[in-house]
Homo-oligomer: A and B are copies of this chain.
Amino acid sequence: MAKRRKSRFPAAERSVDSAEVRLIRIPGIPEIRTGDDLGKVVASAARQAGIRFRDKDILVVAQKIVSKSEGALVDLASVKPTAPAVALAERLKKDPRAVEMVLRESRRIVRSDHVLIAETHHGFVCANAGVDHSNVPGDDIVTLLPRDPDGSAKKLATMLRKWTDKRIAVIISDTFGRPWRLGLTNVAIGAAGVPVLVDLRGTRDRQGKVLSATILAVADELAAAAGLLMDKSKGSPVVLIRGYRYRLRFEPAANIIRPAAEDLFR
């Protein structure tokens, strides 16, 4: 067990010191269409806003525009619901075609009261398995989560490098609910170039005591910080985080998913 943990995380590390962090909304992101090069779109919007990227900037991008650029959209008019979807939809008073999509996107339905809480194929637990109809043109179109959000983040980081010539880390975020606490918070579902979990176990506190249980979910804190500037009603899906100091690392956000067997909170 101890060994398994060691292999999952890098050696104990001190989080690098930051004195000030800036969160900057990138304005003027247009409606994104399938096939758009998000790196180019973001680089161009930043340039127009007078924002010049720097190495080690972190870009937090809402899942919705990533899904749109990748064509992860489904027209419900084309969906034929199966019998389980029809039955569930009837009980929940929902569109059976939308429920069908939730079932297709899910590995497991966690709860199905008036909201469907599902575990996606990636392992994320969230409402409707990420199937969402907000901020999508057309009444019958829904977006799905990106197939491989870590891959999407890596690809976007590569395209940003191409268009800006800077090493920019990327986090792809979505707003998830959680047990015990009300409200949604923005969390990381994909990452490239930035630490996802920072393991402080083995380092010492101010009194010299060894910290025994401190692994920080840094990517989720970065996503939450960016969430303060994302406004669904205004179309602000891209936030730049500057000044957060970190060690360059390609660690997938999938590392955040808690193995079920180790989930003491369940």
Taking beta carbons and an 8 Å cutoff, which residues of A are in contact with B? 14-15, 17-25, 27, 31, 110-111, 113-115, 117, 124-125, 127, 133-137, 175, 177-187, 197, 200, 203-207, 209, 211, 213-218, 220-222, 224-225, 227-229, 231-235, 244, 255-258, 263-266
Contact = CB atoms under 8 A, between A and B. Distances in A.
B127 A184 contact: no
8 contacts: A134-B209, A175-B214, A180-B257, A180-B266, A181-B258, A183-B218, A206-B234, A225-B228
A135 B224 CA distance: 26
Nearest to A184: B216
A182 B265 contact: no
A220 B113 CA distance: 25
A185 B18 contact: no
Secondary structure at the A interface, as helix, strand, loop or mixed, is loop
Nearest to A255: B182
A224 B256 CA distance: 16
Given A135-B209, A182-B197, 12 more contacts: A14-B231, A21-B229, A22-B23, A125-B265, A137-B207, A179-B263, A180-B266, A182-B217, A182-B257, A200-B232, A205-B233, A218-B228
A206 B235 contact: yes
B15 A20 contact: no
Contacts of A216: 175, 183-185, 227
A10 to B, nearest CB: 13
B180 A263 contact: yes
Given A133-B209, A213-B115, A179 B228 contact: no
B184 A214 contact: yes
Given A214-B184, A265-B178, A228 B222 contact: yes
Across the A-B interface, give the 4 residue pairs with the lowest CB-CB distance, nearest first: A183-B217, A224-B224, A225-B225, A179-B265
B182 A179 contact: no
